[in-house]
Chain A
């Protein structure tokens, strides 16, 4: 049971998911810029762009459809926020692109799971159609991130140490 019963509701969720993902990646890019991790900043900017394009596409699809306005707390995510939003609590300013991509991969996988679960749970044909489409697109995102990951050699290296002491600010 997902609680999403109409195609309009599904589109609202899909759109919100992309918006939050774009916002989250942008936010992370800003954090990395401030902490002078240029590689990650660029990576997150790129991911944000992809999500932004996707959000725009969904907006197009919403035209002419009955899409409900949903209050922030009323979105029917399975977890405590939109599945595609990467958990900021997992961040570190000295992460490598590979480590960040693994987190992004998890987020994209969560998004795929969300639509895939809906696809199997719903009996509404229109919902099924959109769920299938979005699941496929999320699968593409997953593959995109996987392709990126291949650029970096596999490694279980931990996050490296900062050799400078922390700076007192307060």
Chain B
């Protein structure tokens, strides 16, 4: 909370006869809200600031001959403002009349109808009649702007909110205003499709129905939607989100205005558009048991009985170490808590949420809030880019950079084209690149390389400087899973527990025949672990593997028992985001018949095991306490979190790096065609020197070959930010079983196909 402003920072003025005091510099459009009056706006937006384009926010200020715009006029001492009255009403009605001159009155078929600012303000402040005697101008009505957005040029009121979002917030600068006068229109500068991680926000910013989401066009009237506010669980940011449901279908998701703490009012396209999986026909809707190599449908009671029997046989034999349960990053706090508690009650200690590459989610007590991040004077990132792992958080990074923060990327990562950054080779250089006058530094880590994280922390830590740490995990509730006790060495609220074995160690145990039964809750390690092929071998060696899933993923396919689980929009609970905010999730719709939530699945298992369950109140109390517990004793890059498996790769060839991409992930994205359409082409990026040495040109097609496996037909790209000796893959699931190449393997380039040189016309 900001402290109360000093009296000298306050300005006294009168708006519509009401005296008020506001902070110096406040714009009239904002000050007016404080006296419960409204100044209509189209181009102004709280997060974008004034633009002065629409001219509808006219106010009358005593002593000024002309009407003024409320969006770009700051308060002044003694100012007397009128937001209504003859003069204002006349000017405002004129502007609204002009906006309607060429605006088509196709409201009956416009998606915005019912929540349109042009409708609402015309109703409230418009003239009611029109003197227009000529046809309205005719412009293209359904312009395909890119994979997500359709533009109706006739409806556009040229407020340029979308253009300014792309420039000021996203930093992508793809959208521009083209042509001039009444012929002007929104388009991409290059003519290429409008495509980045945040495009959907422009449909919310658009005050009219000019920019609409392909996924929602002509689907519903807004008043027929049932809205539920929840938190997005696609990544570790946990953006507040409105889910709009009609007749049992999620039709759209919207950001939550006023969510300054987490989302800053934005959503990424992954969070916004990955709702198509909910109704996908591929969803599993009944427990499936592997019998003679094929899955057969069974009932829930039978499923729980078989599972309990498998666990009991190990426990009763006095060998709880032969039992393991994994997952949590995609569960709610309540589910993770109940799972950890049930397992620990049985004496099972092989618990771990870390089935992918990320080793740690809780940054310890040096963690900062998301608001702190945008006030940092320097931001050092190690590991993969937050643009891919935690996209909406990356908008804070961009905001900080726009306000002058230095972005220093250790190792090669992506940054939006307009961002200033420094690429440095190691953490010592990063520390050296920080300007001396910077006292607040943010350190962003993808949670993978713990030694690097520790080194970075100690290199940046200085007397008199604030060092705030963030772990930009890709899983929605990894931090919650840690707090709830889904770690082999820590119980609920980080209390030290008897050490079990982590996921990698249990995989080794499985290969050695030491694991009898394993359960994986909402995770797909065959796809997400660094060496998916090895994980596959391990899971295949588990006699009774249980997987809870929405889809028949690479991991589920190996299971003895697959249990259909509810998705994120189908259950309520809470999560902990990467900044430690405890955020509620709320069910927007019921799961399909036959599908249970992971919570209900754990309850069913516990009952079958005849374990006494805590009551709802106790679960609530315990999860709230654990979620709010300070992660005292956890260090950034904590050694206890480090995996047991050694990193591979030495020898000949190029070092492979698989870069995370926001639109790649588990089953919910693989089973959502709208997300699949947003994925980049499978690409291999080479350092300039390597490309020259190997004779690779940008646009070539190449294959990568390792000692085991091959990835074929990759688009070659040259990046001068890559260091020689490395090749970076985007849009490819290396490390998965399908290509047999480990994500950190050494690879050779084979079969270079040059792009045909286009013939000059």
Do A and B bind? no
| Chain B residues with a Cβ under 8 A of chain A | none
